[in-house]
C-alpha cells in the first residue's frame, strides 16, 4: 500500500490551501459573526475544478477520483468547515446520485451545472419528526396525471434557501414503508407551492446556509423522478455512502486545524516561567490529537481508495465517518482546554472549531447510527 499522495494530489491540496487563505480567511471572522454566506466563493471553487474530481469528463469533470477530491475537501475544511460543506451539496450528494440513477437528459442538464457551481444543489431527507428513522418521513407525492402533488416539510436542510436543484426524498406509496419511497429532482426556485426559509439559530457552521423547505401541493412533473418509483430508499442509502465520506474528510480537516492551533499556541504561551509546550500534560494532549487525526485521515483515505476502485464499502465509510467525527470533537475540545480562557473566547479560532465539530456527530447519520451500521456488518445482519 502506498500512503503518499501523488504530485497531482499535492498540487490539488496546495490549490485548496491557497484558495482558502486568499479568498476565505480575509473575511472569515466578520462573516462568522454575521452568519454571512458568500455564494461567489462557491462559484470560484467550481470554476477552479474543485467539484469536478469525481465527475466524468463528458459531464465537465476531471475524473481524478474520490481521494483527490477529498484531499481538497479536507484542506478547505481545515480553514473553514462551512466552505467544506459545498462539496456535499454540489457533487457527493446531488451530482453523483444523478449520475448513478438519472436519465441521460437529467445527467446532461444537472451534473455539469452542479460540478461547475453554475447551479447550487441540496438534498432533502430530514423532517421535524423524522431524523435517523428515514422511513418515518411524512412528506408525500400523490400522482395526478403527468405530475405528482407534493406536500410536507423538510428541515435542517443545508442550502435549502439558496439551492437551485434539490434531491427530494418522499413517499409515493406510504403503505409500502421503505419500498414506497421515491426520489425527485426539484427545481426549488421555479416550482410553485415550494417555500424556503433560513434557520439561523445554529451552534456552528455559521457561514453555511441551512433552512426549511415546505411543499404545499407543489406540482412536480413525472419526468423529475430520479430512478424508478419505489427506488427512493435505495437511492438515499447510496447517496449517504458518498456524503458520509465527505463529512469524514471535513472532520479530519477540523481536527487538523485544532492540532495546528494548539501547537502554535503552546509554543507561544508562557506560564510558570516556561512555554506551556514544555509541560508533559500539554505534550500528551497534543500527541493524542496527532495520533487520532492521523488515524482518522488514513481511515478516510482507505474508504476513498475503495471508492476509486468502485468497491462497495459501506462499512469502511461508516467506520471513517464515526471515527473522524469523534476525533474532530475530541481534538477541538482539547484545544479549547489548552487555550484556557482564550479558548472560550470567539477571538480565537478553537471556539469555532469546537462548535463546528459537533455537526459531524449528527449529519449524514449520527454517530449512533454509524455504530449500528458497523455492528450490523460485523454480525452479518445488514439492513
CB 352 within 8 A of CB 297: no
Is residue 211 included in any domain, yes or no?
Answer: yes
- pLDDT per residue, tens digit, the chain (383 aa), is 677 899 999 999 999 999 999 999 999 999 999 999 999 999 999 999 999 999 999 999 999 999 999 999 999 999 999 999 999 999 999 999 999 999 999 999 999 999 999 999 999 999 999 988 999 999 999 999 999 999 999 999 999 999 999 999 999 999 999 999 999 999 999 999 999 999 989 999 999 999 999 999 999 999 999 999 999 999 999 999 999 999 999 999 999 999 999 999 999 999 999 999 999 999 999 999 999 999 999 999 999 999 999 999 999 999 999 999 999 999 999 999 999 999 999 989 999 999 999 999 999 999 999 999 999 999 986 55
CA atoms within 13 A on the CB side of 298: 10
Residue 383 lies in a domain: no
Tell me the backbone φ, ψ of residue 86, rounded to 5 degrees: -55, -20
Residues 210, 242 share a domain: no
Q: Is the dihedral of CA 167, 39, 63, 72 positive or negative?
A: negative
pTM of the model: 0.95
* Pair 73, 181 in one domain: no
Q: Are residues 173 and 242 in the same domain?
A: no
331 & 366 share domain: yes
Burial environment of residue 27 by CB neighbours within 10 A (0 to 12, 13 to 18, 19 or more): middle
Tell me if 165 is assigned to some domain: yes
Asked which of 174, 197, 230 is the last residue of a domain, the reply is: 230
Q: Quick one: CA torsion of 367, 371, 374, 377, rounded to 10 degrees?
A: -130
314 & 251 share domain: yes
Residue 328: count of CB within 10 angstroms of its CB: 34
Flag whether 2 is in a domain.
Answer: no
Backbone phi, psi, residue 213, to 5°: -130, 125
Residues 168 and 181 in one domain: yes
For residue 354, the cross-strand partners are none
We report the CATH number of the domain holding residue 84 as: 1.10.540.10
Q: How far is CA 215 from CA 97, 124, 131, 270, in A?
A: 22, 12, 18, 57
Same domain for 240 and 338, yes or no, is yes
304 and 368 together in one domain: yes
Residue 380 pLDDT? 86
**Which residues are identified as catalytic?**
364
> Are 98 and 185 contacting, i.e. CB atoms less than 8 angstroms apart?
yes
Phi, psi of 218 (to 5 degrees): -75, 120
Same domain, 242 and 373: yes
Quick check: is 259 in a domain? Answer: yes
Please state the domain count of the chain: 3
Backbone phi and psi for residue 39, each to the nearest 5 degrees, phi listed first: -60, -30
> How far, CA to CA in Å, does 338 sit from each of 39, 121, 326, 350, 382?
35, 38, 18, 10, 42
Exposed e or buried b per residue across 68-91, where buried means at least 16 C-beta atoms within 10 angstroms of its C-beta: bbbbbbbbbbbbbbbbbbbbbbbb
User: Does one domain contain both 208 and 237?
Assistant: no
CATH code of the domain containing 326: 1.20.140.10
Question: Which CATH number do you get for residue 200?
Answer: 2.40.110.10
Q: Does 287 reside within a domain?
A: yes
Verify that 280 and 148 share a domain, yes or no: no
Cβ–Cβ < 8 Å for 255, 332: yes
φ, ψ dihedrals at 217, nearest 5°: 50, 45
Examine the fold and report which residue of 102, 120, 138 is the final residue of a domain before the chain moves on.
120
End-to-end Cα distance, the chain: 31
- Give the range of the structural domain holding residue 256, as residue numbers without chain letter: 233-378
Whether 1 is covered by a domain: the verdict is no
SS3 category, 4: coil
239 and 205 together in one domain: no
- Which pLDDT belongs to residue 347? 87
Domain-ending residue, one of 120, 140, 175: 120
Evaluate whether residue 64 is within a structural domain.
yes
Amino acid at each position: 500500500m502506498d500512503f503518499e499522495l501523488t504530485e497531482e494530489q499535492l498540487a490539488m491540496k496546495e490549490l485548496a490551501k491557497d484558495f482558502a487563505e486568499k479568498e476565505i480567511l480575509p473575511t472569515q471572522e466578520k462573516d462568522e459573526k454575521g452568519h454571512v454566506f458568500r455564494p461567489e466563493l462557491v462559484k470560484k471553487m467550481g470554476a477552479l475544478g474543485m467539484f469536478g474530481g469525481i465527475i466524468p469528463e463528458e459531464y465537465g469533470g476531471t475524473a481524478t477520483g474520490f481521494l483527490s477530491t477529498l484531499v481538497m475537501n479536507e484542506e478547505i475544511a481545515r480553514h473553514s468547515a462551512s466552505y467544506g460543506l459545498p462539496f456535499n451539496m454540489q457533487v457527493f450528494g446531488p451530482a453523483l446520485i444523478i449520475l448513478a440513477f438519472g436519465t441521460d437528459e437529467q445527467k446532461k442538464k444537472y451534473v455539469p451545472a452542479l460540478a461547475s457551481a453554475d447551479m447550487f444543489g441540496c438534498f432533502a431527507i430530514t423532517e421535524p419528526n423524522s431524523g435517523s428513522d428515514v422511513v418515518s418521513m411524512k412528506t408525500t407525492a400523490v400522482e395526478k396525471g403527468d405530475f405528482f402533488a407534493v406536500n410536507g416539510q423538510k428541515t435542517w436542510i443545508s442550502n435549502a434557501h439558496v439551492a437551485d436543484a434539490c434531491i427530494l426524498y418522499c413517499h409515493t406509496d406510504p403503505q409500502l414503508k421503505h419500498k414506497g419511497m421515491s426520489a425527485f429532482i426539484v427545481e426549488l426556485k421555479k416550482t410553485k407551492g415550494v417555500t424556503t426559509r433560513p434557520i439561523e439559530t445554529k451552534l456552528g457552521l455559521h457561514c453555511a446556509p441551512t433552512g426549511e423547505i415546505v411543499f404545499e401541493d407543489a406540482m412536480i412533473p413525472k419526468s423529475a423522478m430520479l430512478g424508478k418509483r419505489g427506488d427512493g430508499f435505495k437511492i438515499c442509502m447510496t447517496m449517504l455512502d458518498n456524503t458520509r465520506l465527505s463529512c469524514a474528510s471535513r472532520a479530519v480537516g477540523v481536527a487538523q486545524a485544532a492540532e495546528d492551533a494548539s501547537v502554535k499556541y503552546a509554543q507561544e504561551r508562557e506560564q510558570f516561567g516556561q512555554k506551556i509546550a514544555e509541560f508533559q500534560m500539554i505534550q500528551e494532549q497534543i500527541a493524542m490529537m496527532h495520533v487520532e487525526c492521523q488515524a482518522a485521515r488514513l481511515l478516510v483515505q482507505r474508504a476513498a481508495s475503495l471508492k476509486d476502485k468502485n468497491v462497495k464499502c459501506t462499512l469502511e465509510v461508516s467506520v471513517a465517518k464515526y471515527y473522524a467525527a469523534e476525533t474532530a470533537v475530541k481534538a477541538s475540545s482539547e484545544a479549547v482546554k489548552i487555550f484556557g480562557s482564550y479558548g472560550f473566547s470567539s477571538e480565537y479560532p478553537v471556539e469555532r472549531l469546537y462548535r463546528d465539530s459537533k455537526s459531524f456527530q449528527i449529519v449524514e447519520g449520527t454517530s449512533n447510527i454509524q455504530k449500528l451500521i458497523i455492528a450490523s456488518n460485523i454480525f452479518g445482519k445488514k439492513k
